[in-house]
Copies of this chain bind each other. A is one copy, B any other.
Amino acid sequence: MNDIMNIIYSGSKEGKEYFDTLKNRQGKADDRVIEVVEDILKNVREGGDEALTYYTRKFDCPNIDNIKVSKGEIKAAYDKVDKDFIEALKTAKDNIWNFHEKQKENSMLVPSKDGIVMGRIVRALEKVGIYVPGGTAAYPSSVLMNAIPAKVAGVEKIIMTTPPMKDGFVNPNILVAADISGVDEIYKVGGAQAIGALAFGTESVEKVDKIVGPGNIFVAMAKKSVFGFVDIDMIAGPSEILVISDGKGNPEYIAADLMSQAEHDKLASAILVTTSKELAVKVIEELKKQVEKLERKEIILESLKSYGAIIITESIEEAIEIGNIIAPEHLELMLENPFMYLGYVKNAGSVFLGYYAPEPLGDYMAGPNHVLPTSGTARFFSPLSVDDFVKKSSYLYYSENALSEVKDKIVKLAETEGLTAHANSIKVRFKQSRE
């Protein structure tokens, strides 16, 4: 035992208990939250801009008049931010753009016998809403990661909403990131009211086809509630990193990477799975040393203590199997030959390979998206991508001959299902309806 994070042997009773702890991190919204959210959504749907202004005054800025960010405000934001920050954002933008360009899918055409042609058409969504949290959770990098895939997909209009600060302005870093990403309109609205505006439309905020972006429990519940009226991105929960290393891993790097995840949130989970007890001990030492210099020390220590762990396994293969069970948001294979193991990875949001691909490289710069499935949902969810901003339509052409070939089988299936109008639609074409 040590006072930083637990060391657990794989297959032990403690190991099982730890898996349960991880699974149960996610809190459920209580009924009161759901009630408040439903009430706000209803009021925005019925009250439009008036309701939006009411809630923005109530929750964010008592004196706000105009909820739309003006061109002047964006221009002013550029003057307020660090030039190196702008340069870094632009490099990130290029890298993100280039990677997401490769994700674009072509429409498809399948020709077949008798003149049959079918396929599916891929089209960008027309309008997309991006929610950006306010306060300390306002991350310019997340604006890039949410907006750029939409732009690459060809979305015509991107509408961003974010709660203003008490003085009525939006964090200038966020405004610059939005402008660089190609966001078209920005509204100073937060919470469930922003989700309501994007889902149902108001006099000034256009109804969108899909809403993406992270938010607090009110935002998350509002998104879940409007799902079906519009599309939403995945449901996000507490996030995690899982580092796999043998005895050759550098404990300094590993400790730093674990803490880069732990600093996000007290509920975040940082896990090292290693074949080396020695390495485990060295990592603990490094954590103790490095954490002292970090601003979010308290959050890091609480996260490591509550939800972090070092798991000792017999082999790297076993370590990867544990990774597949946990299905972490971030998986670092800090191994000499990481590509040898990539094929064994089944469940992970993003995989970081080798000694020089730390999580923050992916969070900020490399190109793959940092909006990733959390809390084990990598079993079925995928990183945010261009896929999320397109829709598909199938199409189908049959010649008279081609239809004639299968007409009896269609009629048989329709009649077996008791759908005689379906059968009739085939029969009238071959005059069987008058037999």
CB distance from A93 to the nearest CB of B (A): 11
A346: chain B residues at CB < 8 Å are 123, 126
Contact B397 A392 (CB under 8 A): no
Contact among B88, B342, B398 for A356, CB-based, below 8 A: B398
Interface centre among A347, A382, A383 (most CB of B within 10 A): A382
Interchain CA distance A394-B359 in the complex, whole Å:
12
Closest residue of chain B to A387 (Cβ to Cβ) is: B387
Do residues B362 and A396 form an inter-chain contact, with CB atoms below 8 A?
Answer: yes
14 A-B contacts (beta carbon < 8 Å): A103-B108, A125-B380, A136-B418, A257-B425, A259-B424, A347-B391, A351-B393, A355-B400, A360-B425, A362-B394, A363-B414, A366-B398, A380-B391, A382-B390
Decide: A368 and B120 in contact? CB cutoff 8 A: yes
Determine if A256 and B368 form an interchain contact, defined as CB atoms under 8 angstroms apart: no
Interface size on A, residues (CB 8 A): 127
- Is the CB–CB distance between A395 and B351 below 8 Å? yes
A227 at the interface (CB under 8 A from B): yes
Contact B366 A228 (CB under 8 A): no
**Closest residue of chain B to A346, judged by CB?**
B123
A73 CB → nearest B CB, Å: 19
| Stretch from A14-22, A64-72, A181-189, A293-301 that touches the partner | A293-301
| A422 at the B interface (CB under 8 A) | yes
Q: Which of A116, A417, A418 has the most CB of B within 10 A?
A: A417
Residues of B within 8 A of A381 (CB): 231, 391
Q: CB within 8 Å of B: which of A59-98?
A: 82, 84-85, 87-89, 91-92
The 6 A-B pairs at the shortest CB distance, nearest first, are namely A228-B235, A88-B409, A368-B394, A382-B392, A263-B421, A353-B397
Cα A377 to Cα B391 in complex, Å, equals: 10
A416 — which chain B residues lie within 8 A by C-beta?
Answer: 82, 85, 140, 173
Asked if B358 contacts A426 (CB within 8 A), the reply is: yes
Q: Is A36 part of the contact surface with B, judged by Cβ < 8 Å?
A: no
Tell me, in angstroms, the Cα distance from A413 to B366 when the chains sit together.
13
In whole angstroms, how far apart are the Cα atoms of A400 and B390 in the complex?
A: 36
Residue A110 interfacial (CB < 8 Å): yes
**1/0 contact trace for A246-280 toward B, CB 8 Å?**
00000011001101101110000000000000000
Q: If the complex has contacts A139-B417, A252-B428, are A403 and B364 also in contact, measured as CB distance less than 8 A?
A: no
Excluding A224-B227, A345-B393, A351-B393, 12 further A-B contacts by CB distance (< 8 Å) are: A84-B409, A120-B368, A173-B416, A231-B377, A290-B428, A339-B397, A358-B429, A360-B410, A362-B396, A363-B422, A364-B422, A378-B391
- Is A118's CB within 8 Å of the partner chain B? yes
How many copies altogether? 2
A426's partner among B259, B263, B360, B420 (CB-CB below 8 A) is B360
Closest approach, in angstroms, between the C-beta of A264 and any C-beta of chain B? 8
Asked if A395 meets B290 with Cβ closer than 8 Å, knowing A227-B235, A356-B402, A412-B84, the reply is no
A338 within 8 A of B: yes
* Residue among A210, A262, A264, A346 with max Cβ neighbours from chain B (10 Å): A346
Q: How far is the CA of A249 from the CA of B173 in the complex (A)?
A: 58
Is A406 part of the binding interface, using a Cβ–Cβ cutoff of 8 Å?
yes
Q: Which of B140, B348, B354 contacts A398 (CB 8 A)?
A: B354
Q: Separation in Å of the A28 CB from the closest CB of chain B?
A: 10
Across the interface, do B383 and A394 meet the contact criterion of CB distance under 8 Å?
A: yes
Among A85, A393, A410, A417, chain B packs the most CB atoms within 10 A around the CB of A393
- Across the interface, which residues of B come within 8 angstroms of A105, CB to CB? 105
Q: Which residues of chain B come closer than 8 Å to A306, judged between CB atoms?
A: none
